[in-house]
Structures are given as structure tokens and as C-alpha cells.
Amino acid sequence: MEAKTYVEDIDRSLYDFRNEDTDAYRLKEGLTEEIVLKISKEKNDPDWMRELRLKSLDIYNNMKVPDWGPSLDGLDIDHIATYVRKNAKLADNWDDVPAEVKDTFEKLGIPEAERKSLAGVGAQYDSELVYHNVREDVARSGVVYSDIESALRGEYADLIREKFMHLIPPEDHKFAALHGAVWSGGSFVYVPKDTVVSIPLQSYFRLNAKGAGQFEHTLIIVEDGAQLHFIEGCSAPKYNVANLHAGCVELYVGKGAGLRYSTIENWSKNMYNLNSKRALVEEGGRIEWVSGSFGSHISYLYPMSILKGDNSKMEFTGISFANNEQNLDTGAKVVHIGRNTSSYMNTKSISKGGGACTFRSSVIINKSAEGSRASVSCESLMLDSKSRSDTIPAMDIRTPHADIGHEAQIGKISDDAVFYLMSRGMSEEDARALIVSGFADNVSKELPLEYAIEMNNLIRLEMKGSIG
Amino acid sequence: MSEKFVEIKNLHVRVEDKEILHGIDLSIGRGETHVLMGPNGTGKSTLGYALIGSPKYEVTQGSIELDGRDITGEAVNERAKAGMFLSFQNPIEVPGVTLSSFIRSAIEQRTGKRIKLWEFKKKLKEVMELLKMDEEYAERDLNVGFSGGEKKKAEILQLLMLEPSFAILDETDSGLDVDAVRTVSAGINEYRKRCNGALLIITHSSRILESLRVDRTHVMIEGRIVRTGGASLVDEINREGYEQDTSLAGEVAP
């Protein structure tokens, strides 16, 4: 039986290949004013951005590491290279992307997905984007989808200055400050008024360099009455030293606009994923988050929605899967400000092999948010007795005129269900995998088909050798 | 060989520390329908679970053979692949797995072959019509929110789709209204016609047997088969109950 419970050697080759760091420009490890200024110079920042970086560095140096979540002791910023750039220019044609980088994204299926089902793709390799392209018809409708750096010199430069790190200021927490100091890469999306982008845009973030950090910034503005589905994916090969991801996602959803933001995160198990995501929703607007967290050693991830306008809505659907060596602290936050706003959180977590999942939710209903509704539902599945699952809900309701619901369930795979499925001829492993996929089903249903398949494959991958 | 397609010899079964079955002998030929009757709590369902191989039921003595193969020590899924099927008294709910996708993957796992989607759908539709099941149940999560009757029909649907060579139906008629019993009986008849399988029907009422041809009837009392007879035994028990059998059991009890 022992051999079967041994899960460390599961085949992650789909994500775990790595390229040598040749032909790359890499800043030395650590975080100093000198390094921050080098990044700023490298990127030819406008003055205000350089100042923001320096201010953020100062805030970073004066802030404490959070002490309320999973331990960050294994993360030492002095050993993290904050900037690694492949010697390549940003291309809008895959043929112009260096062969090994192109090969990486081919293996991850990005160009194929672009041909089949996406309106635009951005691909980041370490600190910089190597590929960015948007379909002509979409570009013609006025949609902008580009890297942040060129957007800073483009038509919407002033808008970016107004919005950049406005929802997530560097004072927010230590790793937001770090992001402000060394951010690089990411995507800028602008969807003009009443424009409906009917097929999704996707950014893929690949961190290849050992001991490096990725700090991409995603800024999306969906104007009044417009609609967008944005997908981000991330992965990295595994190293025996810590890697760090501290991205920032800022989403502005206009009046009556709709934005769906889907993430499939599959970082390697040496990754510290300390990501911040926030959306501001105007009157009658709607933000939908779909979030799949499968990778990383430690995650702190709580996308936040600010329902500012009356009748604005948020829906959060999330799943976390923690295996051995993983401690995934995830959840969502919502602040109701407008009247008749509504939020709905539905999350699932699975832990096995000694992995730990914590679900944190925070619902704040301001005095102004009369007639608002909030519902939080969290289900956890523990696949063995050495794994952990915790639920930490917080609710701060300041008006009597609100409707609030909360539901949490922690359980195990029922032996009766496994027996029932096996009595029809299934192996124990398949029966368990089927039950776990079924448990995750209402999340995978929310994903575009190929991602749903990827998620099920990930579950199968994680479930391999789970019989003990 | 048809005589002894299923051969159960001196089967002793323990649940936790208590012996429930004290030496069951039973053989069922191919195409035969046997009925196992007896009062509640007498060990009928235990026999069903022990035959299919539930890990909660420990066989301490005796053997189970299927088509000449000793399967006493085999895991439940191996027994299923060998052709066994148990219709559960309380089918389990499995959220997120549709009835149709479950049956399809069960067929594929049993046979080890891919099944063509349109062939599968056609057969599923036809069997669901026979069982008067609303088509939408195929895309609903397995047993989740099904009424008692729909759960039992879903079991018979699996029986007809999986086509086992030995089926045990554990109180498939309990909790069903008259119409549903009739429909389920029709499903069982259809199984006999198509598969010529060995059938063991566990029941403590006789409603489900009215339209079925019964070959043998066994009466179980306190973990022993105390009487075996033909189809007429069902009617006799209906009239007289188990009084005669309980006194018999008293005589053979240790």
C-alpha cells in the first residue's frame, strides 16, 4: 500500500519543463533603490511611474510581513531576482518569438487556443511580454489589448495614470508595495462604451527563471454597457528555491457593463503566490470571477469586489486544490456600497496528501447599501486525515435592510459512494477521481470548455496514486 | 453448467464482530429467477452486499463462485466486471456526475472498450422510455434529488444498460407505488429476455413478483435459509406469513 500513497512523483511534465536562462538579461537578486531605478530605466518609465516605484519601495521597507496566514518564512526577497528579461522584442507574430520561448507556449497550447477560440492573446515570459496580438475585427471596434508599457505611451496614457494602483494602492499590504516598486509586464485592456467582445481575451504568464519573481500588472477598463471575458493562466517549472509571484489585477466595470475574469493558476510547488485582485463596479454593472487555484507552495489570494453603484452585482466561483507541500489560503472579499447590490460566493476546496486549504470570506455591507443581498457558500473535501481544511468567514453588516446567507460544509469522500461506483465496475482510483471531479463540477462548468478539460485533467493528475 | 452458474457454498458472513449469515448454500442457474424472502433484519441484504463484495461484510467461511470462477476474495469492481450487479436498496447520491455519463463510463470500464456515443444515447433513450423515465434524468446528477421511485428506476436502468450475467435486486420494490412497481417489473422481465441472466430478487413483499416467472423461492430466517420451494411458496408465505419458518429456525439455532 505504501507505494500507492507516494504522491511526490506524479507526472507534471506538462508544466514542469524548463529552459536554461541563456540569452537573458537578469538583474541581481534582492531589492534596493538601485535595482528599482534600473528597472525603471530599463522600461523607460514616465516620471510619475518612477516616483510611484520609489514611494512603493519606501512603503515596502516600512511594512510588516503578514502574520495571520500561512508562513512566509521560506521567502527571502534578498534571494529573488525581481527582473529577468529574455533578449527578445515584443512580437505580434509567433514566428518572431525566440524558438524555445515559442516552444514553451506551444506546449502549453496557447497559439492553438488563440487560433481556435480567443479574440486576443498576451504571453509573458518571466518579466516581459514576448507576444501580444488581438484579432483585427476586435481592434477595429476600438478595443485596446496591449502590454502596459506601450499603453503608458499610447492614447490612454492619462487614463492609466489615473487608474494605475488606484484600486490597490501600495499602502494596501506589503506585497502590493513590492509590486508597485518592481512591477513589469502584464496587460492593459480597454473596451469602449457599449462594445461587446463576444469571445475571450487571454493572457498567459510563464515564469521560467529560477529564483525569480513575476510582478505583472493587469489593468482592465470596461466602459458603460460593454462586455468582456478575460482569461489568465499561469504556470512555472519547479525549482528547489523559492519563486515569487506578486501580480496586481485592477478591474473597472462601468455602468451596466459586464466583466468575467477567469483564472487557472497552476504555479509550481516552490512558488509563493501573493497576488492581489480588485474590481470596482458601477451602477448596474456586473463582475464575475472564476478562479481555479491548483498550484503554488503558498497562496494568499482574495479577489475583492467593490459594488459602488446601485444594483451592481458580483459573483465569485472558486476552487482550490491543495496537495502535499501546499498551503492555499484563498477566498474573496466584497464591499456593498450601492443600494440593491448583490454578491454571491460559491467556493469549493479539496485537500489531500497533507495539503491545507483555508477559505476566507469577507462581506461588508455599508449603511448605504440598503436592500442588498449577500450569499456565501463554501464546501470543502478532505481526501485523507492528514490534510487540513479551514473556513474563516467574516461579515460586517451595517444596515438592517440586507439579506445575508452563509453556508459552510467540510466533508470527506464517502466510502459508500466509492463502493457504489465500484459496484458498477470502476476501479477505486477512478471512482474517487469521479467523485472529486463531480464535487468540482459546478466550477468547471463555469470555465470555457478547454479549461474545464484542463481542470479535470489537473484533478486526475492530482488524484493519481491517491489510494492508500 | 446452467444448473450452477452462481454457486454459493456454506457462506458465513460477519459484520464488525457479529456473524449475520451462518452458512448459506444457494445455486442459481443461468436464466433462473430466485426469490429470497424473509422478515426484516434477517440477513437478506447482508447476503446481497456480501455477494457483491462490500468491504464492510467479511466472509469468514465458504465460497462464492460465478460461472465456475471463485470470486470470494475479489474486490467489488472485479466482481462487477465478472458480471455481477447489485441494485441498491438505497442508491447513493453523487453530485456533479450525470446519470448518463456515469452509465457510459461504467460500461466502458466493464468492457474495456470505448462505446460509440450515438449508439449509447439511442439505447439509453429506448430503455428510459421502457421505464417511463423522463429523458431529462439522464443529464441530472446521479440520484441527486431523485424521488425514491426514480432512484429505483435508475437502478433498473443501469441493470438494463450494463447487462450483467448475475443480478441481485435488493428490495427494489420497497417504497414504490403500484404503477412504479409494474414499470420496474417490466424492466426486470426485459432484462431476463435480453440477458438470460441469473437473478436473485430480495424482497419481503410479493408485489414485484406478480408478473414475474419465479423458479425458486427461499425463505431466510436469522441468517439461514430454512425453506426452499417453487413459485407457489411465495403465495403460501403471503397467506400464512413466516410463523412456520420462525419455529423452524428455532429448532436449528445453535
Report pLDDT for A4.
34
Crossing angle for the helix pair A428-444 and B99-111, to the nearest 10 degrees: 150
Identity of the residue in B53, B85, B95 whose CB atom sits nearest the CB atom of A438 = B95
Searching chain B, which residue's CA lies closest to the CA of residue A440?
B96
Q: Are residues A227 and A159 in the same domain?
A: yes
Calpha distance A443→B207 (Å, rounded): 44
Q: Are residues A240 and A372 in the same domain?
A: yes
Q: 3-state class of A247 per DSSP?
A: coil
Is B107 part of any domain? no
Q: What is the count of structural domains for chain A?
A: 2
Contact B80 A437 (CB under 8 A): no
Is B56 part of any domain? yes
Report pLDDT for A237.
85
Q: How many CB atoms lie within 10 A of CB A389?
A: 22
Calpha distance B141→B156 (Å, rounded): 17
Is A98 part of any domain? yes
Q: Are residues A412 and A429 in the same domain?
A: no
A267-312: pLDDT as tens digits:
888 999 999 999 999 999 999 999 999 889 999 999 999 999 999 9
Q: Are residues A265 and A310 in the same domain?
A: yes
Report yes or no: A403 and A433 within 8 Å, Cβ to Cβ. no
Contact B97 A414 (CB under 8 A): no
Domain with B58, as residue range(s), is 2-92+147-252
Find the CATH number of the domain harbouring B152.
3.40.50.300
Q: Range with the lowest mean pLDDT among A18-22, A134-138, B242-246? A: A18-22
Is A387 part of any domain? yes
Q: Are residues A391 and A370 in the same domain?
A: yes
User: Is it the case that residue A23 has pLDDT exceeding 90?
Assistant: no
Contacts of B86 in chain A (CB under 8 A): 423
A302-348: pLDDT as tens digits:
999 999 999 999 999 999 999 999 999 999 999 999 999 999 999 99
Contacts of B106 in chain A (CB under 8 A): 421, 424-426
Mean pLDDT of A108-130: 87
Our CA-based measurement puts residue A406 at a distance from the nearest CA of chain B, in whole angstroms, of 20
User: Is it the case that residue B84 has pLDDT exceeding 90?
Assistant: yes
Is A44 part of any domain? yes
Q: Which range, A123-137, A200-214, B7-21, has the best average confidence (pLDDT)?
A: B7-21
Q: Are residues A127 and A235 in the same domain?
A: yes
Domain with A454, as residue range(s), is 417-468
Q: Are residues A447 and A356 in the same domain?
A: no
User: Is it the case that residue B254 has pLDDT exceeding 60?
Assistant: no
Is A197 part of any domain? yes
Contacts of A439 in chain B (CB under 8 A): 95-96
Report pLDDT for B205.
73
Q: Are residues A89 and A47 in the same domain?
A: yes
Encoded amino acid at B198, one letter: A
Q: Are residues A144 and A271 in the same domain?
A: yes
Calpha distance B30→B21 (Å, rounded): 24
Report pLDDT for B34.
96
Q: Are residues A22 and A106 in the same domain?
A: yes
Q: Above 0.90 for ipTM, yes or no? A: yes
Is B110 part of any domain? no
Report yes or no: A274 and A248 within 8 Å, Cβ to Cβ. no
Contact B77 A442 (CB under 8 A): no
Q: Which value, in Å, is the radius of gyration of the alpha carbons in chain B? A: 18
Calpha distance B109→B103 (Å, rounded): 10
Is B136 part of any domain? no
Mean pLDDT of A355-371: 96
Searching chain A, which residue's CA lies closest to the CA of residue B104?
A424
The domain boundary, picked from A373, A396, A416, lies at A416
Report pLDDT for A10.
40
Is B101 part of any domain? no
Q: Are residues A233 and A358 in the same domain?
A: yes
- Strand ranges for A366-423 from DSSP E: 372-382, 388-397, 402-412
Nearest to B61 by CA among B9, B20, B18: B9
Report yes or no: A325 and A298 within 8 Å, Cβ to Cβ. no
Mean pLDDT of A126-137: 89
Confidence grade of residue A8 (pLDDT, cut at 50, 70, 90): very low
Sheet-wide strand order for A201-206:
A128-134, A120-125, A201-206, A227-235, A258-266, A286-293, A313-322, A342-351, A372-382, A402-412
Contact B96 A439 (CB under 8 A): yes
Is A2 part of any domain? no
Confidence grade of residue B2 (pLDDT, cut at 50, 70, 90): very low
Size of interface A-B (CB pairs under 8 A): 73
**Nine-digit cell string for A125:** 515570459
Q: Are residues A208 and A277 in the same domain?
A: yes
Is B243 part of any domain? yes
Calpha distance B232→B234 (Å, rounded): 5
Is B113 part of any domain? no
Is B105 part of any domain? no
Confidence grade of residue A7 (pLDDT, cut at 50, 70, 90): very low
Q: What is the count of structural domains for chain B?
A: 1
User: Is it the case that residue A397 has pLDDT exceeding 50?
Assistant: yes
Give the rounded percent of residues in chain A with a pLDDT score beyond 70: 94
Identity of the residue in B88, B94, B109 whose CB atom sits nearest the CB atom of A435 = B94
Contact A428 B77 (CB under 8 A): yes
